[in-house]
Chains A and B, each alone.
Chain A
C-alpha cells in the first residue's frame, strides 16, 4: 500500500461478521492519507485471543461529499478516521 502523504485510498467494501474497527459507513469510500500511526497489533486477532501481527494504522481524511453524497450539508467539511492498513487499497483521485 502506498504510504505517501495525501495519496488516495479506498476503504475495502467487505463486510465480514465479527470484530473490526473500520466504520461500515466508510466502506468503499475514498479519502487521502493524512498521517501514519502505529504500528499496532491487529485488533481483529486480539479480539479473539490470537497472536496478532503489527500493522500500520492510517488516519484517512474523507470529504463529507464522499461520505454523504448529495445529502452532505457542508460538502467540503472533512472527517478523519483511523483505519488499519489491510482495509485500504490505493485508488485514483475521485
Chain B
C-alpha cells in the first residue's frame, strides 16, 4: 500500500461470491443514479485507514464505503438502514432464507 514494502502478490485468480457481485452491481447502480461517484468510493476507502485493509476483504470495504456515501447523499437515513437490516437479519442466516422474506 502506498509504496510500502509488502510480500508477494498472489497471482492466482478466484471466484467471487454472489454477495460480492451484488456489491459491485450496487456501485454501478448508485453511481448511474447520480448518488455519488467512484471518487467518493475511493475517498471513504482511504478514510477507513490502513487497518481496514488488513481486517476486511475487498468487497467488505466496498459495501462500507457505498453505505457511507449513500447516507451522505441522503438516499436513506440511518434509522431506515437499521430497520431494514433488522428485518433482513430476522429472515435467517442463509441466502435462501433471506431472499424468501
Q: Kindly count the residue-residue contacts between A and B in the assembled complex, taking CB atoms under 8 Å apart.
A: 27
Q: Which residues from chain B sit less than 8 Å from chain A, CB to CB?
A: 2-3, 36-37, 39-40, 42-43, 46-47, 69, 72-73
B interface, by DSSP: helix, strand, loop or mixed? helix
Contact residue among A19, A25, A49 (Cβ-Cβ distance under 8 Å from B42): A19
Contact indicator B42/A47 (Cβ below 8 Å):
yes
Contact A48 B43 (CB under 8 A): yes
Q: Are A49 and B46 within 8 A (Cβ)? A: no
Size category, A interface: 10 to 19
Contact between chains at A49 and B72 (CB < 8 Å): yes
Which residues of chain A have a CB within 8 Å of any CB of chain B? 18-19, 23-25, 43, 46-49
Known contacts A19-B42, A19-B43, A19-B46, A46 near B2 by CB under 8 Å = no
